[in-house]
Copies of this chain bind each other. A is one copy, B any other.
């Protein structure tokens, strides 16, 4: 017996990120049937994913099962599946194994980092999109210190203690700050041969400043705060080659055994299957109501949509999810859906344990005040994640003690050879 059989149209939502989940929660209150398709079984609070990579948070602090989130809604079902292709004519989504038909469709599969045509770099410079990505970064960061401890050649040891972060958007800035703190504070005293306070963190940005989408004054402040933390910022720096030992910036070679990627934007490949216009990053160019040209029953929300003036951030995705749910409600009721308008409530980026920059339009903060704002806003939006207070207590604990209990290396089979031990 399929409890999602029932009255009302069938709405399929692909993607349980900020846009898709917001749409599902709203649609679930209506007399419709909703199917949420995601290839992961959890919603991810992506703004904090770098903290999992930095071994400061557990995956379960920032990820929560989709089924548990929609548990109370009998008219919502969750399908753990990967959407492969949308057949607009047949109104059907083809999955990795099977298919599902829809009356209304919301596509919210997002975007990920991009290697500017060098997909082979992914192997040496992992990006940050999923829990598995974060655990892979964590593994590489921690293993680099283990390798430094085993290495007897000082030049090679320095290369193991040199970390390069490519891309100085919010994720790159956050990662660089966290990497510096790991060596200078969290691991200090844990090694015998490797002096972890000799860690070098390079933040490489192709454009002329860090946080290029923020106001210039905040970019400057962010750069200064990064430098206080010991991060070396290099702007107008283009990676031209990259391998397991380091990278090239034109003629300059940098030996850095650990490279983390936080650059580029590439839309989910589902967009291409729609056969509608996409922008340079592969994002769908939507109508003003976020539907796709010629198909008023299909909407695109979140990072997958290319809408002028709308940035790829969580608040924008939530606003789009809410709008799309209302638009479907309107259309089902025979009304016009209106036009999506993004309301910018400001931007925040954190840099270290007590530094951040914030841009709330007229109010611009930096330093501890911005960091506190960042903390409170993120905890406020951690809806359903065990308990917001619980996570806050965990952070406070980790902040006060710097013990980083999450500092576990798992999946050891996948790491390369560590330097030889002698003696």
CB contacts (< 8 Å) of A71 on chain B: these are 189-190
Instruction: State whether B2 touches A100 (Cβ < 8 A).
Output: no
Contact B67 A190 (CB under 8 A): yes
Residues of chain B lying within 8 A (CB to CB) of residue A46: none
With known contacts A60-B406, A71-B190, A408-B65, A80–B132 Cβ distance under 8 A: no
**Cα–Cα distance between A387 and B405 once the two chains are bound (Å):** 10
Interface residues of A in 1-38 (CB under 8 A from B): 1-4
Segment with Cβ contacts to B, from A91-99, A294-302, A303-311: A91-99
CB distance from A193 to the nearest CB of B (A): 6
Does A289 belong to the interface (CB within 8 Å)? no
A203 CA / B127 CA spacing, docked (Å): 43
Flag whether A213 is at the interface (Cβ < 8 A).
Answer: no
Instruction: Report A83-116 residues with CB < 8 Å from chain B CB.
Output: 95, 97-101
In the complex, chain B residues whose CB is within 8 Å of the CB of A58:
58-60
A408 near B42 with CB under 8 A, answer yes
Question: Does any Cβ of B come within 8 Å of A363's Cβ?
Answer: no
User: Does A386 contact B409, Cβ atoms closer than 8 Å?
Assistant: no
Using Cβ atoms and an 8 Å threshold, which residues of chain B touch A381?
none
Q: Which of B40, B404, B411 contacts A409 (CB 8 A)?
A: B40
A392-423 contacts to B, CB under 8 A, are: 397, 403-412, 417-423
Q: Are A421 and B79 in contact (CB under 8 A)?
A: yes
**A97 touching B390, Cβ below 8 Å:** no
- Determine if A97 and B417 form an interchain contact, defined as CB atoms under 8 angstroms apart: yes
Residue of B nearest to A407 (CB): B65
CB distance from A406 to the nearest CB of B (A): 4
Q: A422 touching B99 by the CB < 8 A rule?
A: yes
Q: Assess whether A67 is in contact with B2, with CB atoms less than 8 Å apart.
A: no
Binary B-proximity of A191-213 (CB < 8 A = 1, otherwise 0): 11100000000000000000000
- The contact of A100 among B41, B412, B423, by CB within 8 Å, is B423
The answer to whether A81 has its CB under 8 Å from any CB of chain B is: yes
A370 lies within 8 A of chain B by Cβ: no
Interface string of A47-75 (1 = CB under 8 A from B): 00000000000111101110110011010
Give the shortest distance, in Å, between A353 (CB) and chain B (any CB).
Answer: 18
| CB-CB nearest in chain B for A195 | B1
Across the interface, which residues of B come within 8 angstroms of A187, CB to CB? 67
> A65-B407, A192-B2, A408-B42 are contacts. A99–B421 as well, Cβ < 8 Å?
yes
Residues in B whose Cβ lies below 8 Å from that of A386: 397, 403, 405
Nearest-CB residue, chain B, relative to A409: B41
Tell whether A243 is near chain B: CB-to-CB under 8 Å. Answer: no
Contact (Cβ within 8 A) A405 B64 = yes
Interface residues of A in 130-184 (CB under 8 A from B): 131-132, 135, 142-143, 146, 149-150
Known contacts A97-B419, A421-B81; A191 and B67 CB within 8 A of each other: yes
16 other contacts beyond A68-B404, A95-B421, A98-B150, with CB at 8 A cut-off? A4-B192, A41-B409, A58-B58, A60-B406, A61-B405, A64-B405, A65-B408, A67-B191, A71-B189, A74-B192, A97-B417, A97-B419, A97-B421, A99-B422, A385-B405, A387-B397
Please list 13 pairs of residues, one from A and one from B, whose beta carbons are closer than 8 Å in the complex, sorted by A's number. Answer: A41-B407, A41-B409, A58-B59, A63-B408, A81-B421, A95-B421, A97-B421, A98-B150, A99-B422, A131-B410, A132-B410, A386-B405, A387-B397
